Amino acid sequence: MRIRHAEAIARAGLIALLAGHPHVCLAEEVREPAAGVVVVVTDYADAMARLPQAPQRGERIMIVSQRECEWDVRAAMAAGVHGYLTQRCEAAELQAALLALGKGQRYFNKELLARALHQLAGCQPTLRESEVWNCWPGAIPTSALRSRWRSA
């Protein structure tokens, strides 16, 4: 497993939490592809940059981030992220997520996943989508967009 988190304090905390775990082997970053699958724990921006090449490099990407809005979670899921946790998750959840990713499964924080699914199920625009719609007030009224969104 590799920790590539851009925030120094988060990176140090992740290393400290995982260094003594019996099922986790922390590896230094290397430029050549590793043998087998490597779980990379990283921040949102690095994950989104790594995801297009992750399958070729044998990487499974897990985001640990303060970014908790539905838009970010949905965008990461659409890009193919394998796991997503908040930085305020418990150590046990972090370890469970890493074990799941190591077995080829996906793992998402239950609260984040529930909010993202609720947003999709209700066909409600996210806060960011609403903000974008409001930037174009002359194009189509927001109420018309929302009614079209719900009927789609």
Per-residue pLDDT of the chain (152 residues; tens, 9 = 90+): 788 898 888 988 888 888 877 666 666 554 555 556 689 999 999 999 999 999 998 899 999 999 988 888 888 999 999 999 999 999 899 989 999 998 999 999 988 888 877 777 666 666 776 777 677 655 555 555 555 555 55
- Buried b / exposed e over 16-46, threshold 16 CB at 10 Å, is eebeeeeebeeeeeeeeeeeeebbbbbbbeb
Residues 117 and 132 in one domain: no
pLDDT at 30: 47
Residues 11 and 82 in one domain: yes
Question: Whole domain around residue 143: which residue ranges?
Answer: 122-152
pLDDT at 64: 95
Residues 112 and 64 in one domain: yes
